[in-house]
């Protein structure tokens, strides 16, 4: 069963305490009314049924998150000594969670693997220092078996704090090359290298990049791959061709405007995510630049955004659902191993693949 919980949530008796306010626990019927679907549809979504459209699944997930709904079975388990719950923590606002295909694909993979293992999933959004502290208190009450973390920034202390509490933890990605916590990542350096190699093969020589936030390892790794690709092609690096984004569409727009101001002769752009590539595409169109005739464009993720862009976006595919499954599988293994001799944190890096479409 997949249980989606928003914010920092704990239980006292039959009431939910959400962000410091105690309320009667919301019902399945209230979730259905909020999502505009039937009670049975909500039940199918919560239980991970594949017989639900993605649009409906997203509407129900949003209603569950907004109401802080948890099925009675999960509440009983959390209030007692059972250990059948896994927390998936995403330190992002709801708007980004539901707007970016990456997170939905990751949740789908995690949920599927945990359902196979008869574990419950608690989706937790930690958006502030206060919420982080409350979540740590929730964990200290030993109400989950372990924690999965996604979208972690370099200075985030939560992974280390979770380990100090004695809970197994697995991250999606890593904070640095020397990450001490178990993680599942994709070959982000290889993604940047493959994108640049493809652009060079298409005859492009003024290749710019829109990066992610520099405090995230994934952004630094893709930038490193971009630079390695330039070196392998014999192209001199030019910092005027590097612009920082934040993995959002608006961040991609801002970064692309800066690139055009600084380097109007650019003929290609490697964006570190499909969502930022979509923002860059909008700015190029506003500037009268044709894709791919004037500026070739490559993204990362191979999400639905890439397939629906005009023209469809060449993108480096990372196996997002498989990363989610692998994270959950690794965490379950760590939970079982936690009663035995401690092991070194495990690490997995999954391969990426360039998917060529009309944008380059």
pLDDT tens profile 73-101: 444 444 444 458 899 998 877 777 777 88
Tokens, residue 253: 């727009």
At 173 the three-state DSSP class reads coil
What pLDDT is attached to residue 51? 65
Range of weakest confidence among 67-71, 107-111, 310-314, 330-334 = 67-71
Residue with more model confidence, 327 or 22: 327
Contacts of 269 (CB under 8 A, 6+ apart): 207, 208, 209, 210, 256, 259, 277, 280, 284, 295, 296, 297, 298
Contacts of 31 (CB under 8 A, 6+ apart): 42, 60, 63, 64, 67, 69
Q: How far apart are the first and last CA of the chain?
A: 42
Residue with more model confidence, 3 or 282: 282
What pLDDT is attached to residue 71? 59
Residue with more model confidence, 23 or 147: 147
Sheet holding 9-12, edge to edge: 9-12, 15-18, 21-24
**Cα–Cα nearest to 332, from 50, 137, 110, 106:** 110
∠244-250-256 over CA atoms, to 5°? 50
Residue with more model confidence, 26 or 111: 111
Residue with more model confidence, 96 or 4: 96
What pLDDT is attached to residue 77? 45
What digits encode the pLDDT tens for the residues 290-320?
999 999 999 999 999 999 999 999 999 999 9
CA distances from 220 to 5, 123, 214, 242, 273 (A): 31, 27, 6, 12, 13
Phi, psi of 176 (to 5 degrees): -160, 175
pLDDT at 14 over 60: no
Are β-strands 296-301 and 9-12 bridged in parallel, bridged antiparallel, or unpaired?
Answer: unpaired
DSSP string covering 186-249, please? E-HHHHHHHHHHHHHHTT--SEEEEE--TTSHHHHHHHHHHHHHHHHTTPPP-GGGEEE--SSH
- Tell me which H or E stretch contains 147: strand 146-149
pLDDT at 46 over 80: no
What digits encode the pLDDT tens for the residues 161-215?
888 888 899 999 999 988 999 999 999 999 999 999 999 999 999 999 999 999 9
**Within 10 Å of residue 201's Cβ, how many Cβ atoms?**
10
What digits encode the pLDDT tens for the residues 240-275?
999 999 999 999 999 999 999 999 999 999 999 999
What pLDDT is attached to residue 40? 67
d(CA 39, CA 33): 8
What pLDDT is attached to residue 16? 34
Residue with more model confidence, 70 or 309: 309
Residue with more model confidence, 173 or 41: 173
Angle, nearest 10°, between helix axes 101-116 and 320-337? Answer: 40
What pLDDT is attached to residue 75? 45
Residue with more model confidence, 255 or 341: 255
Q: Percent of the chain at pLDDT above 90?
A: 55
In this prediction the pTM is 0.74
Phi, psi of 24 (to 5 degrees): -65, 140
pLDDT at 24 over 80: no
Read off the pLDDT of each residue in 21-45 and give the average, rounded to a whole number. Answer: 75
pLDDT at 12 over 60: no
């Amino acid at each position: 069963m997949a249980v989606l919980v928003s914010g920092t949530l704990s239980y006292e008796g039959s009431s939910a305490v959400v962000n410091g306010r105690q309320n009667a626990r919301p019902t399945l019927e209230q979730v259905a009314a909020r999502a505009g679907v039937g009670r049975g549809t909500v039940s199918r979504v919560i239980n991970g049924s594949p017989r639900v459209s993605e649009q409906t699944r997203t509407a129900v997930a949003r209603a569950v998150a907004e109401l802080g709904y948890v099925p009675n079975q999960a509440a009983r388990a959390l209030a007692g000594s059972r250990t059948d719950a896994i927390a998936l923590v995403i330190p992002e606002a709801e708007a980004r969670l539901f707007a970016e295909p990456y997170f939905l694909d990751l949740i789908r993979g995690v949920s599927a693997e945990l359902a196979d293992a008869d574990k419950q999933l608690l989706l937790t959004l930690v958006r502030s220092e206060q919420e982080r502290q409350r979540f740590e208190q929730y964990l200290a009450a030993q109400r989950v078996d372990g924690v999965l973390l996604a979208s972690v920034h370099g200075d985030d202390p939560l992974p280390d704090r979770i380990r100090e509490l004695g809970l197994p933890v697995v991250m999606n990605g890593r904070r640095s090359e020397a990450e001490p916590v178990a993680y599942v990542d994709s070959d982000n350096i290889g993604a940047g290298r493959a994108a640049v190699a493809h652009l060079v093969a298409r005859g492009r020589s003024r290749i710019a990049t829109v990066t992610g936030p520099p405090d995230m390892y994934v952004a630094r790794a893709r930038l490193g791959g971009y630079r390695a690709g330039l070196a392998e092609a014999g192209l001199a690096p030019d910092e005027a061709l590097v612009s920082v984004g934040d993995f959002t569409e608006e961040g991609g727009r801002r970064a692309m405007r800066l690139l055009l101001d600084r380097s109007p002769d650019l003929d290609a752009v490697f964006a570190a995510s499909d969502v930022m590539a979509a923002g860059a595409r909008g700015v190029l169109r506003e500037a009268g630049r044709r894709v791919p005739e004037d500026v070739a464009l490559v993204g990362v993720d191979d999400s639905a955004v890439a397939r629906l862009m005009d023209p469809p976006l060449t993108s480096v595919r990372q196996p997002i659902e498989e990363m989610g499954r692998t994270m959950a599988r690794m965490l379950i293994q760590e939970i079982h191993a936690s009663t035995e001799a401690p092991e070194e944190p495990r690490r997995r890096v999954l391969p990426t693949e360039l998917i060529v479409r009309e944008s380059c």
